[in-house]
């Protein structure tokens, strides 16, 4: 492969071979910054592109974090005018011929390389984008119309266009397959691609998408914060109370699926009322005050206006162990997702989560929602292009309601003419007791890449996947609303070694679920497919 690559580069760029030697991958990588290529990339339609650097990174390197599994790569950084940064990484000697784009998370602003490392270790050429800005938080969006457009859709689409060109230039031929994988904001990017740019990728895995980019914060996250804020800006419910609530939910609903294992297979079937654990006279300990129980009810019920009309879904029963980050009052901290990105023009800089008006402001969000929210259920063009879409959403997600994904899936089914017309190209998976994107008591380690490959390359639709429960915890996705870090590099490598997990279960396309039958609960063979 190295010799062939050298020959191709020599022909394309006229790099002479010295003493009978063919040009190396190093030369191929450097050639990406040649004047000829600079002119070519700058002339890409709709995507004036500059390559800032192209260099070889040895086996096990990622530029910032060492990882022995990673192959030697040509690492290419550049930007699309005006400010869309991208990072392409291409195996030098072991390329599998395929390309996979990885999504970012939260407000983006960095490359989150580790989220697409599971594809790189399989010798994919991969790309990520910062979505048009650098740094953490949402301040970049303040009255920044170009930045908002880039974040909405432009950065995602044009990064795909440019990455394909970089890959074809480096290897001398285009990728044979083009896939996408992302979760959270990355999931929203995937849905944007399927809906608005249906020919960019043949296969898309979109996890926990932010379908309502502007409403998720005030209706879901900020609603929890406001519901738990006393008049003196002290919390009503504290993290110490959450295990009490969680255990009460499990006691009421856990065994309904045939096995009391701390996992709710279908949280929507659980109607437990927090009033049941209000402290009785003389009782203390494992109970709540009436005010605390009311907070729990409000978080379950979701945002309401002054008429009591529900504006959004609440947090699911069973997810209580994930609520701690959303219980902290924030009297001086605005949620700039809404303040900077939601309104047009942006809200004043002193705007806080307590300023959102649930009667007046929902209509105001419509101005920018057209750009940001991937809500179109008509996937006709994606289906016609031969695309395949896997949507997944953990049932314990406390950052984005998994009911939003169920709602979208059901609207697509209705729009496309039923499940018979939808199943051949679009499947939804709702892993039980899975947190935001990964982790949780249910496991959360799922080989989405192989599922997509088998569907597209072998014609094997994903009828039953496996969910592994790692025997060590995942890194945190978001322990603070401005911290979207955590390295997943070695947590999503497949096939998994038996020493790395303690149980595995089947996962079926929604609405089917795994029901315990008999045998060892830690083995997938002990479960059968069931319907609600």
User: Is 202 inside any structural domain?
Assistant: no
Q: What is the mean pLDDT of the chain?
A: 90
Write the pLDDT tens digit of every residue in 372-404: 999 999 999 999 999 999 999 999 999 999 999
Same domain, 154 and 236: no
- CA 447 – CA 169 distance, rounded (Å): 30
pLDDT at 511: 95
Tell me which of 175, 204, 225 is where a domain ends: 175
Q: Give the model's confidence band at 59: pLDDT under 50 very low, under 70 low, under 90 confident, else very high.
A: confident
Taking CA atoms, 337 is separated from 141, 212, 334, 397, 529, in Å, by: 8, 12, 9, 19, 40
Closest CA to 184 of 105, 287, 282: 105
Stretch 299-317: mean pLDDT: 96
Write the pLDDT tens digit of every residue in 230-289: 999 999 999 999 999 999 999 999 998 889 999 998 899 999 999 999 999 888 789 999
Same domain, 10 and 107: yes
Cβ 515 vs Cβ 530: under 8 Å:
yes
Same domain, 79 and 161: yes
State yes or no: pLDDT of 3 exceeds 50.
no
| Single pTM value for the model | 0.92
Cβ 120 vs Cβ 65: under 8 Å:
no
- Cis peptide bond N-terminal to 345, omega within 30: yes
For residue 375 the two structure tokens come to 């809500």
pLDDT at 476: 46
User: Is 364 inside any structural domain?
Assistant: yes
Q: What letter would DSSP give residue 65?
A: S
pLDDT at 67: 56
Q: What letter would DSSP give residue 111?
A: -
- CA 297 – CA 227 distance, rounded (Å): 10
pLDDT at 23: 60
Same domain, 3 and 145: yes
The β-bridge partners of 445 are 468
Cβ 74 vs Cβ 31: under 8 Å:
no
User: Is 443 inside any structural domain?
Assistant: no
The β-bridge partners of 304 are 310
Same domain, 12 and 61: yes
For residue 433 the two structure tokens come to 């007791």
DSSP 416-446: HTSHHHHTTTEEEE--TT--SSS-STT--B-
User: Is 462 inside any structural domain?
Assistant: no
Same domain, 156 and 224: no
Same domain, 167 and 287: no
Q: What letter would DSSP give residue 464?
A: -
- CA 108 – CA 114 distance, rounded (Å): 14
What residue numbers bound the domain in which 169 lies?
1-175
How many structural domains is the chain composed of? 2
User: Is 451 inside any structural domain?
Assistant: no
Residue 99 three-state SS: strand
Cβ 317 vs Cβ 246: under 8 Å:
no
Same domain, 221 and 271: yes
Same domain, 150 and 233: no
Q: Which H helix or E strand runs over 232?
A: none
Q: Give the model's confidence band at 151: pLDDT under 50 very low, under 70 low, under 90 confident, else very high.
A: very high
Stretch 295-315: mean pLDDT: 97
- CA 289 – CA 273 distance, rounded (Å): 14
- Cis peptide bond N-terminal to 429, omega within 30: no
Same domain, 65 and 146: yes
Tell me which of 370, 398, 417 is where a domain ends: 370
Write the pLDDT tens digit of every residue in 107-142: 999 998 888 999 999 999 999 999 999 998 899 999
Tell me which of 353, 370, 387 is where a domain ends: 370
Same domain, 222 and 165: no
User: Is 346 inside any structural domain?
Assistant: yes
Alpha helices in 348-401 (DSSP H): 361-364, 366-372, 380-384
Closest CA to 200 of 417, 47, 50, 96: 47
Write the pLDDT tens digit of every residue in 154-194: 999 999 999 999 999 999 999 999 999 999 999 999 999 99
Residue 302 three-state SS: coil
User: Is 132 inside any structural domain?
Assistant: yes
User: Is 464 inside any structural domain?
Assistant: no
Stretch 510-522: mean pLDDT: 94
Q: Is the sign of the CA dihedral 222, 224, 225, 231 positive or negative? A: positive
Same domain, 171 and 221: no
């Amino acid at each position: 492969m190295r010799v062939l690559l050298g020959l191709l580069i020599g022909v394309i760029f006229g790099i002479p071979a010295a003493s009978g030697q063919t040009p190396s991958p190093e030369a191929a990588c450097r050639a990406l910054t040649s004047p000829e290529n600079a002119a070519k990339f700058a002339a890409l339609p709709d995507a004036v592109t500059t390559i800032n650097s192209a260099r070889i990174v040895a086996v096990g390197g990622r530029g910032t974090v060492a990882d022995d599994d990673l192959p030697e790569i040509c690492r290419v950084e550049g930007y699309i005018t005006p400010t869309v940064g991208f990072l392409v990484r291409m195996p030098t000697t072991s390329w599998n011929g395929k390309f996979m784009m990885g999504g970012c998370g939260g407000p983006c602003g960095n490359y989150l390389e580790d989220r697409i490392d599971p594809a790189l270790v399989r010798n994919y050429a991969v790309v990520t984008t910062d979505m048009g800005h650098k740094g953490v938080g949402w301040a970049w969006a303040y009255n920044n119309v170009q930045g908002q457009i880039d974040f909405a859709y432009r950065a995602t689409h044009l990064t795909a266009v440019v990455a394909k060109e970089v890959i074809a230039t480096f290897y001398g031929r285009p990728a044979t397959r083009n896939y996408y994988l992302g979760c959270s904001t990355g999931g929203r990017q995937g849905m944007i691609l399927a809906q608005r740019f249906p020919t960019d990728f043949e296969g898309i895995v979109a996890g926990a998408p932010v379908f309502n980019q502007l409403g998720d914060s005030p209706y879901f996250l900020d609603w929890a914060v406001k519901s738990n804020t006393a008049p003196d800006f002290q919390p009503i419910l504290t993290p110490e109370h959450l295990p009490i609530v969680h255990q009460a939910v499990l006691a009421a609903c856990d065994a309904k699926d045939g096995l009391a294992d701390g996992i709710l297979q279908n949280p929507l079937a659980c109607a437990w009322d927090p009033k049941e654990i209000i402290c009785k006279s003389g009782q203390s300990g494992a109970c709540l005050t009436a005010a605390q129980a009311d907070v729990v009810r409000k978080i379950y019920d979701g945002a309401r206006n002054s008429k009591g009309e529900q504006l959004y879904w609440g947090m699911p029963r069973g997810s209580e162990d994930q609520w701690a980050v959303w219980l902290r009052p924030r009297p001086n901290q605005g949620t700039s997702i809404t303040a900077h990105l939601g309104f047009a023009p942006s809200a004043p800089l002193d705007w806080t989560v307590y300023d959102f008006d649930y009667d007046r402001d929902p209509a105001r969000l419509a101005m920018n929602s057209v750009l940001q929210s991937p809500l179109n259920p008509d996937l006709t063009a994606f289906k016609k292009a031969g695309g395949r879409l896997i949507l997944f959403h953990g049932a314990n997600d406390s950052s984005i309601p998994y009911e939003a994904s169920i709602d979208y899936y059901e609207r697509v089914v209705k729009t496309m003419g039923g499940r018979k017309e939808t199943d051949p190209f679009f499947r939804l998976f709702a892993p039980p007791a899975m947190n935001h994107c990964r982790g949780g008591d249910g496991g959360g380690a799922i080989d989405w890449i192989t599922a997509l490959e088998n569907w597209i390359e072998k014609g094997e639709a994903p009828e039953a996947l496996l969910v592994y429960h790692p025997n060590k915890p995942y890194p945190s996705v978001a322990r603070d609303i401005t911290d979207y870090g955590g390295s997943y590099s070695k947590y999503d490598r497949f096939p998994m070694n038996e020493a790395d997990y303690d149980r595995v279960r089947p996962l079926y396309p929604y609405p089917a679920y795994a029901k315990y039958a008999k045998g060892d609960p830690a083995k997938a063979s002990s479960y059968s497919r069931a319907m609600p």
